[in-house]
């Protein structure tokens, strides 16, 4: 299946072209249209399958084609590690090159300058936030994160997050989010813990 058959915005097709993608991978073929239709998703997909673009492209399409609050965070992607956050931010940069969609990666380990850069973006609004759980909670606890307009939540490598003991952190972050939102859960494996999380989190996935 070609990307042009998926109904994606022209500006995204330019980004896809610049990244050198021609054919949508199986996970992209399976999830992009349901995400565009507003459905909650649970997908079993490992790194290397093209899962990142599978959720970034439809999210960006929705932000480009639907009116939304420019000064709010519109989508949050929670990931287990800073390496994955950086990797997703890089893919995002490539795919969004011809668009006005903004994003920031928020993860632990940087110095005070990094924290204040993150604080500024989270206070003034940025379309897509890609974050690790602990660092996001540090910001959320300070009360300035603009979440009222948040409409999309992605949990990426959810099984790894549970293995790393992030279950309570994820539930805490979710407690800050508006209830009306679309939820996407990606996991390499589907153990009972992931199914339990999906039961709590997803509506008719
Ligand atoms: P991911 O599974 O998201 O980590 O992606 C693995 C690699 O595949 C990344 O380098 C992507 O840029 C690349 N990729 C994603 N989708 C496609 C596609 N449709 N065609 C070619 N490469 C792709």
Q: What is the pLDDT of residue 39?
A: 98
Q: Classify burial at 130, counting beta carbons within 10 Å of its beta carbon; exposed 0-12, middle 13-18, buried 19 or more.
A: buried
Q: Which atom of ligand 1 is nearest to the CA of 47?
A: 2
Whether 47 is in the pocket of ligand 1, judged by its Cβ within 6 Å, is yes
CA distances from 40 to 3, 32, 162, 203 (A): 21, 11, 20, 6
- Residue 161 to residue 172: CA distance in whole angstroms: 14
Q: What is the reported pTM?
A: 0.97
- Residue located nearest, by CA, to atom 22 of ligand 1: 21
Q: What is the pLDDT of residue 71?
A: 80
Provide the CA 78 distance to its chain's centre, in angstroms.
7
Pocket test for ligand 1, best of 3, 53, 57 (most atoms within 8 A of CB): 53
Q: What is the pLDDT along the chain (205 residues), one digit of tens a residue?
A: 899 999 999 999 999 999 999 999 999 999 999 999 999 999 999 999 999 999 999 999 999 999 777 788 999 999 999 999 999 999 999 999 999 999 999 998 878 889 999 999 999 999 999 999 999 999 999 999 999 999 999 999 999 999 999 999 999 999 999 999 999 999 999 999 999 999 999 999 9
Answer whether 143 contacts ligand 1 (Cβ < 6 A).
no
Residues, the chain: 205
- Cβ 29 under 6 angstroms from ligand 1: no
Spacing, Cα 125 to ligand 1 middle (Å): 28
Nearest atom, ligand 1, residue 49 CA: 2
pLDDT of res. 67: 79
Q: pLDDT value at position 70?
A: 73
**What is the Cα–Cα distance from 182 to 105, expressed in whole angstroms?**
20
Residue 23 CA: nearest ligand 1 atom is 19
Residue for token pair 């009116």: 67
Q: Give the distance (Å) from ligand 1 centre to CA of residue 116.
A: 32
Q: Is 186 in the pocket of ligand 1 (CB under 6 A)?
A: no
């Amino acid at each position: 299946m070609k990307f042009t058959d998926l109904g994606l915005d022209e500006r995204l097709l330019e980004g896809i072209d610049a990244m050198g993608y021609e054919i949508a991978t199986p996970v992209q073929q399976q999830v992009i249209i349901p995400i565009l239709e507003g459905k909650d998703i649970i997908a079993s997909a490992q790194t290397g399958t093209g899962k990142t673009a599978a959720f970034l492209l439809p999210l960006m399409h929705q932000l480009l084609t639907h009116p939304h609050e420019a000064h709010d965070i519109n989508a949050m992607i929670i990931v287990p590690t800073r390496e994955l956050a950086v990797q997703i931010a890089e893919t995002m940069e490539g795919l969004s090159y011809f668009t006005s969609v903004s994003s920031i990666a928020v993860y632990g380990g940087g110095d005070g300058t990094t924290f204040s850069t993150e604080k500024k973006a989270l206070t003034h609004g940025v379309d897509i936030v890609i974050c690790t759980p602990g660092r996001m909670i540090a910001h959320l606890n300070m009360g300035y994160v603009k979440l009222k307009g948040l409409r999309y939540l992605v949990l990426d490598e959810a099984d790894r997050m549970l293995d790393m003991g992030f279950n309570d952190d994820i539930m805490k972050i979710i407690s800050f989010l508006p209830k009306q939102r679309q939820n996407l859960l990606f996991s390499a494996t589907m153990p009972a813990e992931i199914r339990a999380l999906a039961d709590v989190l997803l509506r008719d996935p």
